[in-house]
Amino acid sequence: MAEIQTIAPVRHGWQGEVEIPGDKSISHRSVMFAGLGNTPVHIRNFLHAADCLSTVGVMRALGVDVEFLNENELIVTGKGLHGLTEPMTVLDAGNSGTTLRLMMGLLAPQPFLSTFCGDASLTRRPMGRVLLPLSAMGARIYGRNTNNNLPLTIVPTGEKLRGIHYESPVASAQVKSAILLAGLYADAPTTVTEPYVSRDHTEQMLAGFGVRLERTGTNVTLFPVEEGGYRAPEEITVPGDISSAAYFLVAGTIIEGSRLLLKNVGINPTRTGILDVLTEMGANIQLENERTSGGERVADIIVASASLRGISFGAEIMPRLIDEIPVIAVAALFAEGDTVITGAGELRVKETDRLHAIAEEFQKLAPGSVEEQEDGLIIHGKTEIRQAQVSSWGDHRMAMSLAVLGVAAEGVRIEEPDSVNISYPAFFSEMERLSKGGSL
């Protein structure tokens, strides 16, 4: 891919259908959890992107058989809940925080040593929030410096982990999932309490594998798996990723004369904050063909262009849309009035400091449009937008959000565009198809 991606403005609406690629979170988990079974699991609509392939690589290194039938379809056959084997090399999580944090929970109870590395971005991200509760369960995990950065080594303890009740200071699906996965092997039930409910794909999928869980309010309790209690399903179909759909939801709203049908989108209630926020802003969004697949709610989404107004939202909804803040910020630029985002401090420890990155890059395209706050942003809508060269900061969500901003305004030139390969390799070609008025 080019070092700079040039996005031209469109002078007509986007029309047509978009097949949304498989959900990244569910693709990760489908390979991990299937790898703990001992029967073949046929996974369809798998997201063939860099992050999810990091999980495939790690599971293969642990002795799991993964066979690709094509890019988006694979068969995973594990060797049972206690069948993972010691890796012969360092495990590479690439750019994937999900791979690293969930595998920390899965490998903490194992009777062998494992060491993780990752790319420059992942190496900077803090792992203490996962290491702390796992250590309370009895795990021995050692990272670099006081932030417990990569490289990171998990040492066998020779004893079962302890079931604990952990009150998490943050609503984080990665933290919760790591604790629950360690709890599969613990000596007693494990409970996680969050300030707000984070995405629950781990709980949904583990329940489908026969694991006993109980959920009340913001608490989830997992009971250790007894011999023979882990039952892999024959098939998992991954729904489309609402985080990937978000770029077309916003583009279809702010590009005048647009009407898009987004196919097969996961609408798990812990992920649909983007729909709530855009609807409150005045977006024209409709769900149709709602159904359930593998315990996950799925629908087709119709979005048509609409006039938006600025709103305020904060911490309570943040776990349901944290990954969508950059593209919501784009929508806010086209809204009437100010949009005030608070409670988003988590964005400072993502692939990059996304709050600062949004403020920096938006200033190049729309000077005076954004005020950066400690835990959020104030975005002044209807600020004049011009063409400029911007940086993706090596962050896939920044790259795609800036592309949507450019195509809806005066165009944009994006540095490090290949970061989109982390979650949506076909993103720019899909944009080009719609901009040319093409059909599937």
How far apart CA 147 and CA 127 sit, in angstroms, is 7
pLDDT in tens, 53-69: 999 999 999 999 999 99
- Residue 236 pLDDT: 96
Is 110 annotated to bind a ligand? Reply is: no
144 plus 283 within the same structural domain: no
Query: Which helix (H) or strand (E) covers residue 428, if one does?
Result: helix 427-435
pLDDT in tens, 71-99: 999 999 999 999 999 999 999 999 999 99
Average pLDDT over residues 284-289: 98
230 plus 245 within the same structural domain: no
- Percent of the chain exceeding pLDDT 90 equals 93
Is 375 annotated to bind a ligand? Reply is: no
Query: How many domains would you assign to the chain?
Result: 2
Tell me how far the alpha carbon of residue 261 is from its chain's centroid. 22
How far apart CA 7 and CA 318 sit, in angstroms, is 30
Torsion of CA 392, 152, 180, 342, to 10 degrees: -40
Backbone angles phi, psi at 248, to 5 degrees: -80, -30
Helix (H, G, I), strand (E, B) or coil at 425: coil
220 plus 299 within the same structural domain: no
279 plus 206 within the same structural domain: no
How far apart CA 311 and CA 297 sit, in angstroms, is 27
Residue 229 in this model has a pLDDT that exceeds 90: no
End residue of a domain, out of 175, 208, 237: 237
Please tell me whether the peptide bond between 9 and the residue prior to it is cis, using omega within 30 degrees of 0.
no
Residue carrying structure tokens 């023979």: 228
Average pLDDT over residues 408-423: 96
230 plus 243 within the same structural domain: no
Backbone angles phi, psi at 92, to 5 degrees: -105, 115
Query: Which helix (H) or strand (E) covers residue 399, if one does?
Result: helix 396-408
- Residue 2 pLDDT: 58
280 plus 334 within the same structural domain: yes
How far apart CA 27 and CA 56 sit, in angstroms, is 10
End residue of a domain, out of 180, 208, 237: 237
Is 29 annotated to bind a ligand? Reply is: yes
Is 160 annotated to bind a ligand? Reply is: no
Q: Which domain holds residue 252?
A: 4-22+239-435
- Percent of the chain exceeding pLDDT 70 equals 99
Residue 1 in this model has a pLDDT that exceeds 80: no
Q: Which residues are catalytic?
A: 323
Average pLDDT over residues 299-314: 98
Residue 42 lies in a domain: yes
Task: List the CATH number of the domain containing 195.
Answer: 3.65.10.10
227 plus 259 within the same structural domain: no
Residue 378 in this model has a pLDDT that exceeds 50: yes
Residue 340 lies in a domain: yes
Residue 440 in this model has a pLDDT that exceeds 50: no
How far apart CA 151 and CA 400 sit, in angstroms, is 29
Is 307 annotated to bind a ligand? Reply is: no
Q: Global pTM?
A: 0.94
pLDDT in tens, 109-132: 999 999 999 999 999 988 999 999
pLDDT in tens, 130-151: 999 999 999 999 999 888 999 9
Quickly list DSSP for 56-67. Answer: HHHHHHTT-EEE
Helix axes 24-34, 201-208, angle to 10 degrees: 40
Burial letters for 68-99: b for 16+ Cβ neighbours within 10 Å, e otherwise? eeeebebebbbbebeebeebeeebbbbbbbbb
Q: Which residue has the higher pLDDT, 316 or 293?
A: 316
Neighbours of 424 (CB within 10 A): 22
Residue 440 lies in a domain: no
Residue 55 lies in a domain: yes
- Residue 147 pLDDT: 85
Alpha helices in 42-83 (DSSP H): 50-61
Residue 329 near residue 362 (C-beta atoms within 8 A):
yes
How far apart CA 90 and CA 100 sit, in angstroms, is 12
Mean pLDDT of the chain, nearest integer: 95
How far apart CA 159 and CA 109 sit, in angstroms, is 8
Residue 227 in this model has a pLDDT that exceeds 80: no
Helix (H, G, I), strand (E, B) or coil at 175: helix
End residue of a domain, out of 237, 257, 282: 237
- Residue 228 pLDDT: 74
Average pLDDT over residues 245-263: 98
- Residue 238 pLDDT: 97
Residue 58 lies in a domain: yes
